[in-house]
Structure 1
Amino acid sequence: MTPEEAKKQANKKAIKFVVALFILYILFSQGNLFMNSVMMPGSRFYTPFISEHLNYVQGLKSALIVPAVWIIKAFGFYAIHNEMDVLVVSGPYLRVNYSCLGLGVMSFLAAFVLAFPASWKSTLKMLVIGLIAIYILNILRIAGLGVLLGFFKSQRNNFTYHHEVFNIIVYICVFTMLYFWIKKSSKPTKA
């Protein structure tokens, strides 16, 4: 293969990756938004059966809130929760809504990993590790807010940018994981 042919082939692969990444990201992120509207009473596409039996958004909220409350309690605070709220007694009140779930960054990670040309084993491994890492970071964010704002009462009204801070930290972690994964997945195989 001539250098020109190799360059053309590499360009085709790159374009295919970018197109697949874009399509998958739109599918995942907009699919999650649509499903959220399907499961939200009063919304245009609300479907009671899906909301009652297939509500993964509420399942993710609960899967984030319960361990976060355990961590908050481990720091000596008394905390109570319901399906979307955490109340730290003598501390902050935290509401976990759709934008707190990390589904946007999860959608990006899943789209990137699935679009990247790697073995299915490597892809599956990175997908699982990446999604679990985002989930754990999100639990730590919710628990951290509860604990820190419980200790520093004067800061409760000042810390309004926790979503942006969380997104920056998570994207740094995701890009770092992707960098090492790509580096490992792109190594030429020994013949």
Structure 2
Amino acid sequence: MLAGVYKLYLHLSESSAYFPDYITALVAEQTKSTLQGFGYETFSLDYPKNKSIRIGIKDRTVIQVIEGCNAVSVIILFLSFVLAFFSGWKKTLLFIFGGSVLIYTLNVLRIALITLGIYYYPAYTDFLHEILFPIFIYGVVFLLWIFWVKQYQNPEPSPNEQIA
């Protein structure tokens, strides 16, 4: 269901003012700002041919940020698992919110670090993009899941329960 809602969002955003869509544009802008915060001279360019935003350092284009880079699908995966182990509205929604913010923030940092890695070590582009950083982001999601399941299995006793 969530994937369907996201697909509808992508369809509706095709004609929006944000290219290629609002969330991807935001991730690209925040990645650029993160790199600038690290002291790098960066730029970004819309690239309609691939529905992407290119990010560069100095005068060299380094990466393309596409819809698949925005972490929404990773957050949907995280959210779906947490909902499968529902543990009350407040606790579940707080964990989903906190986990989603963490995943999103780490994803922006991940893209910034991929950009730097490719800028300095272009020979390792495939390793960085296809292996190292996916392990990082999915590893974080996995650790969040483990934490959630442990919390779910050991819920705090309600005030009405007596400990024998």
TM range (shorter): 0.7 to 0.9
Name the CA distance, whole Å, in 1 between partners of 2:13 and 2:30.
Answer: 24
Scaled by the length of structure 1, the TM-score of the pair is: 0.67
Q: Which has the higher strand share?
A: 2
Describe the shift of the 1:85–1:157 C-alpha distance in structure 2 as closer, same or farther (beyond 3 A).
Answer: same
Q: 1:77 is matched with which residue: 40, 45, 55? A: 40
The structural deviation recorded for 1:88 is 1.2
Q: SS of the counterpart of 2:114?
A: helix
> Aligned Cα RMSD in Å?
2.5
Letter in 2 for 1:87: G
Q: SS of the counterpart of 1:85?
A: strand
User: Which one has a bigger Cα radius of gyration?
Assistant: 1
Scaled by the length of structure 2, the TM-score of the pair is: 0.77
Q: SS of the counterpart of 2:95?
A: helix
Q: How many residues align?
A: 151
Runs of 4+ aligned structure 1 residues displaced above 6 Å come to: none
Describe the shift of the 1:31–1:163 C-alpha distance in structure 2 as closer, same or farther (beyond 3 A).
Answer: farther
The structural deviation recorded for 1:37 is 3.3
The structural deviation recorded for 1:76 is 3.0
The equivalences for 1:21-170 within 5 A come to 27-40=1-14, 48=15, 51-52=16-17, 58-82=21-45, 84-150=53-119, 152=120, 155-161=121-127, 162-170=129-137
Describe the shift of the 1:107–1:187 C-alpha distance in structure 2 as closer, same or farther (beyond 3 A).
Answer: same
Q: Is structure 2 residue 145 aligned with structure 1 residue 178?
A: yes
Name the CA distance, whole Å, in 2 between partners of 1:145 and 1:63.
Answer: 17
Letter in 1 for 2:125: F
Structure 1 unmatched runs, 5+: 1-26, 41-47
Letter in 1 for 2:9: M
CA contact (8 A) 2:85 2:152 kept: no
Q: SS of the counterpart of 2:33?
A: helix
Residue identity (%): 23
- CA-to-partner distance for each residue in 1:111-147, whole Å, 9 max, x for gaps? 1122223111111111111111111111111211222
Q: SS of the counterpart of 1:95?
A: strand
Name the CA distance, whole Å, in 2 between partners of 1:37 and 1:107.
Answer: 17
Name the CA distance, whole Å, in 2 between partners of 1:107 and 1:97.
Answer: 17
The structural deviation recorded for 1:185 is 3.0
CA contact (8 A) 1:94 1:146 kept: yes
Letter in 2 for 1:160: D
